[in-house]
Every structure is written in C-alpha cells, then in structure tokens.
A and B are shown apart, each in its own frame.
Chain A
Amino acid sequence: MENILKLTDMSIQFGGLRAIDSLNLEVDKGEIVAIIGPNGAGKTTAFNCITGIYTPTSGNIEYLGKSIIHKEPEEITKSGIARTFQNIRLFKNLTVFENVLIAVHLRYRDNIFTSALRINYKQELAMREEVKILLESQDLYKYKNDIASSLPYGIQRRLEIARALATKPTLLLLDEPAAGMNPQETEDLTKYIKSIRNKFGLTILLIEHHMDLVMDISERIYVIDFGKLIAKGSPDEIQNNPKVIEAYLGVKENA
C-alpha cells in the first residue's frame, strides 16, 4: 500500500503545554482513517499541524514522500490536502455558488489584469461549469443562489465538504463532520462520505465523536488521549482494547 500521509514523532508545544507528544500516524491511499479521543486530546491540533496552520515543534510530516512541515496552508491545499472545520467555516455572506467557485480558483492561472479585463472570459465560464457539475453531483445546485449562512446546518456541513472537494484533493481531512447531527443525519453522512471516497478516489482522515459513524466507516482508528497515541487498529480491535475503554469510553462495570 502506498503511503499518502506519514507523521513521525510529531510534537507541538504551546508554552508549557505539550498538546501533542510524539505522534506517529500513517494513512494509506484510499483508506478511511479515524482519529478519536476525548475532548482536548489534541485531535484538531493534529489537523492544524497537517494543514500548516501550526508548525510542529519537532518531528516530521510527510505527504506523498515529501516533508510539508514548513509549508503555508495555501501551499498544502494546492498540493492536494483539503479540509473542513469543526465549527464550520464558510464564506458566510457569499452565495453557495461563490463559496465553491472561490475554491476552484487555485487550479486556474489568473491575475488581476486578465481577470478584470475579462481576457480570460472562457476560463471564468469553465470554472462556473465545473462548479455547476460539482454542486449538481452533491445535490446542492438548488441552493446555488442562497447565502451560505442562511442554509440549514446539515446543508452547511455538506457545502463545506463540497468546497473542499472543489480543490480536487487527494487527501480529505474532516473535522467532526457529524457534530450536531441526529442519528438519521449521521447515517446519511456515513453513506455520503463513503460515496465521495469512491467517486473522487479520495483518502479520508477524520475526527469524530459519533461512534456509530466511526465504527461503520473507518478501516483503521487511532486513539489519542492527552496528546499521546494510546491505541491503533481496526474498529474491532479498538472496541476491545482495555486502554481505550478506560481512557475514552469509560470503565464499564461488566466489561
């Protein structure tokens, strides 16, 4: 299996707090991998390190065999890692169409003169056509002229994923995609994530608290607690791992 993402001994320290302590993590091509752990365990921090928002204090992050540790977030996106955020970050006052259209920009060459003077008129049409196709495939086209912040919560989540997909990523990072969803919505999301993995040939790394979704969807799971990796393995292995049960799921009386 080809390694897409590899974290070696990655640590990050904020003042006296060691948010992540020597994390080792690997993601292979085409996999769906989940990171779970109690609140404040450092899961989102790990995402922020991978996407360049934070620079790790030590250790290395390799993407497709190359270190991406000192790259800016926008360069990392351009190299093919897209993400969504725990507390949805859409371009709130722009339309659904514009939200996705902006994410398409990075794959087209453009400067202020060619764009302002409409020299690249055809390119603009090509971008719009691409957005249309993507929105239709995600069943969001009917909302295209709606302002992002006016949409229902579930749709906003899907729009954020669609925006990430518009950058044509190879690796998609989803930060708590099912947060705030009811069981039915979570089930739909599970199907949805599987479908985009197959359709776009994605590798997916996700953080999630909904255990149903995690156990159903992921091929491998990493468990983090207090910035340290405490277990990794298949969903079955994780469910029966005493360390995980103790740290994360709580000690059951008749376990």
Chain B
Amino acid sequence: MLKNSFKEKININLLLYLGIIVVSVLILTFLDMNKREYIYAISIIERSLVFAVAALAMNMVTGFTGLFSLGQAGFMALGAYTTAILTIPVELRPNVYYMEGILPALENLSFPIPIAVILGGVVAAFFAFLIGIPILRLKSDYLAIATLGFSEIMRAVIASHMMDKITNGAYGLNNIPEFSSSIECFIYTSICIIAMILIINSSTGRDFKAIREDEIAARSVGINIFKTKELSFVVSSFFTGISGGLLAMYMSSINSSTFQITLTYDVLLIVVLGGIGSITGSIVGAFFVTAGKELLRFFDEPLTVAGVNVPLFKPGFRMVIFSILLMVVVLFFRKGLLGGKELSLNGFKKYSRKKEDKGIQVGGAS
C-alpha cells in the first residue's frame, strides 16, 4: 500500500514535470524559429530562467534550511567572472583586456561553456565552504549581515586595481559568448532546477527542513546541524555561482556594479514573493517579477487622453506601479503567492476533492 502510493506520487509528479518540459521546449523552439519577431519575449524568458535558478538556490538555504543569507550577489559574481574569464574567445582577449593586459596564465585558458559554468559554481561553492566555517555559527540577522559583508567584499576585490589582470578591474568584461538559443538557456537552467528539486525532496532535504523547524530537536534526533548547514550553504552557493555564470552569458558583458546589493534584493524579492519554502513559488516568482517589470513599461511612455498629457506617465513611473503591486501581493498573500505550498497535480486533485466534500472529513489514511 505504502509503496504503491509512494510510487504513484512520484509518477504523477514526474508526468507533470515532463509535461512542463515538453510544452516549454515546444514554445521555445517556436520562439527561436521566429527569433526576430520575438527577441524581446526570448530575452525576458531567458532572464526569468536565470533568476529562477538564483531564487531557488536562495530558497534552498533561506526557505528550506532557515539560514538567512544575503550573499547571493557575491556568489553570483564569483560564478559570473569565472565563467566569463574561461569562455571569452582567446582571440578577443587582447581587446577585452585593452588597459592592463591579461595574466599570462589565463591568456590561453579556455573551456567549453558547460564546463566553465560548472567551474563557476565550484569556485562559488569553495568560497562558501571557507566562509561557512566561521559564519554559519551565527544566527538569523547576524548571518545575514555577515553574508552581506562577504558579498560587498567580493565586489570590491573584483573591482580593485590589483585584480586588473584577472577581472579587468573597473572596466568589466565583455564579449562573453551568449546563449546560442533560448533552448540552450532552458537546458542549463532546467538541469539546475531539477537537481535542486531532487535535493530538496531527498532525505538530505528533509534534514534541511528539520534544522529550519527546530535546531535543538534536530540535534536530538541525531542530525549534525553544523555539517548539514554547511552542506546546504555550499550546495546553494554552487547553484548561485552557476546562475551567475548564466547571467554573464545572458548579459554578455559584466562589470562589478552588476553585482551590487540590489542584485541580491532582486533575488530575495522573487523568493519572498513566490513563497519562502516553495520550489514552484520561486520559479513562478522569477517570471512574475522579471516579466512584471517589463510588461509595465507602457507606464513609462507619455500617455495622452483626449488631447491632455497625463502627467504621471513618464520614465520611472512603472517602478512606482510595480512597487504598489508588490505591496498588494505581500498584503494579500502574506506568505507569498504560493505560501510554502507547491503547485502540483496532487494539489489540484486535493483542492477539487475538498470542494466536492464540502467539509466532510475524508477519514483514515490510504
């Protein structure tokens, strides 16, 4: 009985995931084939996908493990710079590093894109491992401040004059290879998202949740909380680094100001809006926020009604509207759009069953 229901659940979810993937691939192929017409939509989708990875990684550590980390921008910078340095075409490097030249060791060091992106994640994970040892002993707000500090240090180091030959200092890096198609972006991001979903739903993920719920109780059932926190932080940073690498590819040129604290806030906004502790929430939130910002653009354009210019409609107004929308969402959906729950076929089934039963308890367990 138990085995069956467990398998059944897996199968239904698997079908759902496969369905989403197939539909997405079809849509993206269509968009790719008419690239000229839909270039704007493709750009929004790619950005949303990249931010979905970053948001889910943040959710893993903040929403599922209960560690409030604000180091996202720093880890994304590490991933982005690693990816960029390793993938900028060798023949273009003299042009990119036109001021100070490039470190001889890096001059001809080039990797295929997937490997470079993974290495970006590894570098971010390595730094997370190192700083995690001292700072993961801190609690809530203190941890947030420590990670925030780390993020700013990373940005300052990248922009510093001493790093000119590696990061090109304040000039930034350009000529980073872009995604050849939105499908390519989709493949990278969906692999990351699926990997994170698998981790969160595994026994390791359950340990994360136990720590979020109650550290003392978690220790009392034999969970090594320090090791588990470190694991969550490192894995999350790995995927954050990857999302940084993908962001570099999406933007094709980066500099240290790309990775300011506002980038962390963007990711945090997606996580909170989608629902802290909800996987699908982070993904939906990424699209909601990214597309929302773009779709409201008509508020920035002058509007004339019956020959009169409406005074509010000028550049910047859309952010006012967007902020108001955010407040509305936060007020009416205290716990985010999905509030710790997941979008799933099972969920829909339960919801419709509840409606049918109208209050009659479904007794016993199946």
Interface residues of A (CB under 8 A from B): 51, 53, 72-74, 77-78, 82-83, 85, 89-94, 98, 101-103, 105-106, 108, 110-112, 115-118, 124-125, 127-129, 132, 141-142, 144-145, 163-164, 166-167
Residue B213 at the chain A interface, CB threshold 8 Å: yes
* Chain A residues closer than 8 Å to B359, beta-carbon distance: none
* Chain A residues closer than 8 Å to B202, beta-carbon distance: 112, 115-116, 118
**A142 B365 Cβ-Cβ under 8 A:** yes
**B2 A128 Cβ-Cβ under 8 A:** yes
**A141 B365 Cβ-Cβ under 8 A:** yes
Most chain B CB atoms below 10 A, which of A73, A98, A116, A132: A116
**A78 B2 Cβ-Cβ under 8 A:** no
Besides A91-B213, A116-B195, 18 other A-B contacts (C-beta < 8 A): A89-B216, A89-B220, A91-B209, A92-B214, A94-B213, A98-B206, A105-B221, A106-B223, A108-B203, A112-B199, A115-B205, A116-B199, A118-B198, A128-B6, A129-B3, A132-B2, A142-B363, A166-B221
Most chain B CB atoms below 10 A, which of A73, A90, A94: A73
**B203 A110 Cβ-Cβ under 8 A:** yes
Smallest CB separation, B238 vs chain A (Å): 11
- Interface size for B (C-beta < 8 A) is 32
The 10 A-B residue pairs with the shortest CB-CB distance, nearest first, are A106-B222, A115-B202, A91-B213, A89-B217, A73-B219, A103-B221, A77-B222, A116-B199, A116-B198, A115-B203
**B216 A105 Cβ-Cβ under 8 A:** no
Question: Which chain B residues in 156-209 approach chain A with CB under 8 Å?
Answer: 195, 198-199, 202-207, 209
Most chain B CB atoms below 10 A, which of A53, A91, A103, A164: A91
Residue B267 at the chain A interface, CB threshold 8 Å: no
* Chain B residues closer than 8 Å to A92, beta-carbon distance: 213-214
* Chain A residues closer than 8 Å to B225, beta-carbon distance: 74
**A116 B204 Cβ-Cβ under 8 A:** yes
Residue B307 at the chain A interface, CB threshold 8 Å: no
* Chain B residues closer than 8 Å to A74, beta-carbon distance: 219, 222-225
Q: Among the listed A108, A117, A118, A144, which residue makes an inter-chain contact with B365, where contact means beta carbons less than 8 Å apart?
A: A144
* Chain B residues closer than 8 Å to A167, beta-carbon distance: 221-222
**A72 B224 Cβ-Cβ under 8 A:** yes
Can you list 12 pairs linking A and B with CB atoms under 8 Å apart? A51-B220, A73-B219, A73-B220, A85-B216, A85-B220, A89-B220, A102-B207, A103-B222, A106-B223, A110-B203, A111-B204, A116-B199
Residue B128 at the chain A interface, CB threshold 8 Å: no
**A102 B223 Cβ-Cβ under 8 A:** yes
Residue B340 at the chain A interface, CB threshold 8 Å: yes
* Chain A residues closer than 8 Å to B214, beta-carbon distance: 89-92
**A93 B2 Cβ-Cβ under 8 A:** no
Question: Which chain B residues in 346-366 approach chain A with CB under 8 Å?
Answer: 363-365
Interface residues of B (CB under 8 A from A): 2-3, 6, 195, 198-199, 202-207, 209-210, 213-214, 216-225, 231, 235, 340, 363-365
* Chain A residues closer than 8 Å to B223, beta-carbon distance: 74, 102, 105-106
**A82 B203 Cβ-Cβ under 8 A:** no
Smallest CB separation, B158 vs chain A (Å): 29
* Chain A residues closer than 8 Å to B235, beta-carbon distance: 112
**B198 A142 Cβ-Cβ under 8 A:** no
Residue of A nearest to B197 (CB): A116
Smallest CB separation, B11 vs chain A (Å): 13
**A90 B217 Cβ-Cβ under 8 A:** yes
Q: A105-B223, A124-B203 are in contact. Are A112 and B2 (CB under 8 A)?
A: no
- Report the Cα distance A89→B213, complex, angstroms: 9
* Chain B residues closer than 8 Å to A101, beta-carbon distance: 206
Q: A93-B213, A110-B204 are in contact. Are A78 and B222 (CB under 8 A)?
A: yes
**A72 B204 Cβ-Cβ under 8 A:** no
* Chain B residues closer than 8 Å to A115, beta-carbon distance: 199, 202-205
Residue of B nearest to A131 (CB): B2
**A72 B219 Cβ-Cβ under 8 A:** yes
Smallest CB separation, A162 vs chain B (Å): 11
Q: A93-B340, A116-B204, A129-B2 are in contact. Are A105 and B199 (CB under 8 A)?
A: no
- Report the Cα distance A105→B202, complex, angstroms: 11
Q: A73-B220, A89-B217, A112-B231 are in contact. Are A145 and B206 (CB under 8 A)?
A: no
* Chain A residues closer than 8 Å to B204, beta-carbon distance: 110-112, 115-116
Residue of A nearest to B194 (CB): A116
Residue of B nearest to A135 (CB): B365
- Report the Cα distance A88→B298, complex, angstroms: 54
- Report the Cα distance A142→B365, complex, angstroms: 5
Most chain A CB atoms below 10 A, which of B198, B203, B204, B225: B203
